[in-house]
Structure 1
Amino acid sequence: MAKFRLTMARQHGERIATEKGFETLPVDPFKIAETEDIMIVPKPAIAKGVSGGIIFDEDYPSIFYATDIDNDGYQRFTVAHELGHYFLDGHPEEILKSSKMHISRAGFSQGDSSIELEADHFASGLLMPTLLARKELGSGVIGLSGIEALADKSKCSLTAAAIRAAECSPYPMAILVSEGPNISYCFMSEGFKSLGKLTFLRKGTPLPDSATREFNRDPENVAYGRHLTQETSLADWFDGPAHIKLDEEIVGLGSFGHTLTVFSSDALAENAYEEEDEEASLVQSYTPRFAYGR
C-alpha cells in the first residue's frame, strides 16, 4: 500500500481533532462521535479477536466496541478506528459494497487490508496529533517511560502510543511488537533509520537470539505484564554498527498476548536534543530583529 495514503489518513485524523476543538491531550473519540450523531454501543465481542465495528444501517451510523478486553485505551482506539471508516473518503462506499455492517480488528494487525490500515493511521493521528505528541515526547523522558507517559496523557493503549512515538520521536527510537517466537511488526523513527544501513524487521520472521525471545518463552511474562531491560546493540537486531549500544526494554501486553520491545539510548537521545538546540540557536541567530517605535 502506498505510504502517502497512510500519511494522508493520519493527517485527516489530525484535522478532525483540530476541527472538533481539541488543542490538548487527550482527544475524546466518544465526544467526536457525539458531534456527528453517531451512536456508540459497548457490547461483547461477537467473534474472537474482533475489536468493534460500524453499521451503516440507519440515517446515522452506529459504532460498537468489544468489552472483553478491559482496557480503556484499547477501546478508545477502537472507536477512533471506526471513526476512520466514517470520515475517510471512500470507506463507507467500500463497506457498503458487501454489507451494511463492517467488523474490525483495530490495532495495526490487519496485514495488507488497505481500509483497515488507513483507519488505524487515522485513529493514531486523531488521538495523538503530531504537534501534541511531539510536545509530550520532548519532555526529556526517553524510551519505554516516555511512551508510557504519552499513553497516559493521551489515554491510548501502550502499543498505539509506541507506534506514534516512533513516528514522532525527536530522538532515535524503534519499537517492535512480537508474539511468541515471531515478529508481528516494527516501526523505526527517522532518527533511528539514519543510524546506518539497517535491516528492516519483517512481519512473521523469527526473533533473533535476544532478551525479547527469551522473555517470550515464558507465557506468564506476557500475561502478567512483566518488564525487563537488557543492553543490546544495533548489530544484534538491525545489522547496523556494533558499537552503537541500545537499551532493549521489554514489557508483556497482558491479555493481548503480545510483547512490546523498545530500542533507544540515553546517549543517542542526548545527541539528538543537542542537535535540535543547535538548530534552534542557528535559526534564532539568523532571525531579523526590528526596532519599533524609533
Structure 2
Amino acid sequence: MHASELWGSDSPKAKLARLGLTPLSALYALGWEGYLAMYRLGIKQAQEPHCPVLCVGNLVVGGAGKSPLTLHLAQLLRDMGREVVIGCSGYGGPHAEAAALAPSGPLSSREWGDEPAMFRWLLPDVPLVVGRRRVLAAELVQRSHPNAVLVMDDGFQHLPVRKHVTLLLDEPNPKNSLCLPAGPYREPRWNRRRADEVLPGRFRVESEPLCIARPDGETVSPPVEYALLCALGQPQRFIEAVESATRRAATPAIRLADHDPLDAGTLLERLPTDRPTIVTAKDWVKLRERADLGEREWLIARHSVRVEPAIEFRQWLDAKLDGRSSKTATE
C-alpha cells in the first residue's frame, strides 16, 4: 500500500492498517519527545555558529510548500535590503552528506541535488549552502557571508543548530495527525508551539496564478492539449493546479516518487511527441541534463507564493530578525 493511501484513504483496508500501526506511531512520538527533552533539559545544547537563521519548516513527510515559501522569503529579504544565503539539504546529491558552499553558475542536480539546482536556476545570484550537516553549513555561511540571513529550507526537526526565527507550514485541520508510520507526521503535532509562527495563522500563504513558461523563461498561454510529468511528494496538488490553469486534464499524467532523478532510459517513451509536456521547475533542472530530449516541447509550471497580509508580515519579520540579532549580540 502506498503511503498516501495508507495515511489518507477511508477504505477499510487503510483504516485497518492505520489501526495496526498506531502503537508504533505512539512509540515513535515517545522517542521523539525523549530526544527533544534532551535539549530542553540542557543535556544537549543547540549550537549557534551563525545569526540570524530563518527556518522554513513543516511537520509532515513529503511536500508542504516549503520551497516556494523559501523562494518568496529570499526575494522579500533582498527587497528589504538584507543579504541572503539559502541553505538546503541537497537530497540526492553527494554534497548532502556533509555541507558545502555551492559555486556560482548553474548547478548539476546529480551533484548538488534537485532543490539546490532549482534554487540556483530561479535565483541565480543568491548564494547557496548545501548539505544535511546544518551546523557545518551555518559555520560556512558565517565565514563567507557573516552579515547574511541564512534561510534554511527545512530543518525544523534538526535540533543541533539554533534557529532564530521559525515559520512552520501546517494544515489547520489535518485528516490524519498521527506520527509515522500510521500517519505522515515526523513529530507530534503539538510541537507546533516551538515555531514563531504557524502558517496559516496570523499570516497565510497565498498562491500566485500559475505561470507556464518555456525553458528560456518566455511565458506562454496554457496549452489546449498536454502531457504532465512530476516527481513530487504531493503530486496531486501540482496536477490540480495545472488542470485549473489549463481547464482540462493531462494525457497522460505521469507521477514518480519525490526526488526521482528522471534519468530512466525509457522515461521519454511514455510521453507523446505531438503535444508539450508540463513539468515543475524542480523536475526541469533534472530533465535538462538528459542528452535525448530531442525536439520535444517542454513547459515549466512555476508555482509562486506570497505571505499575506504582506505589509504586516514584512514588518513582523524585520522586527523579529533585528530583535534576535540584537539579543544574540548582547548575550
In the superposition, the TM-score normalised over structure 2's length comes to 0.23
- Structure richer in helix, relative to its length: 1
Which fold has the larger relative contact order, with Cα–Cα distance below 8 Å and residues 6 or more apart in sequence? 2
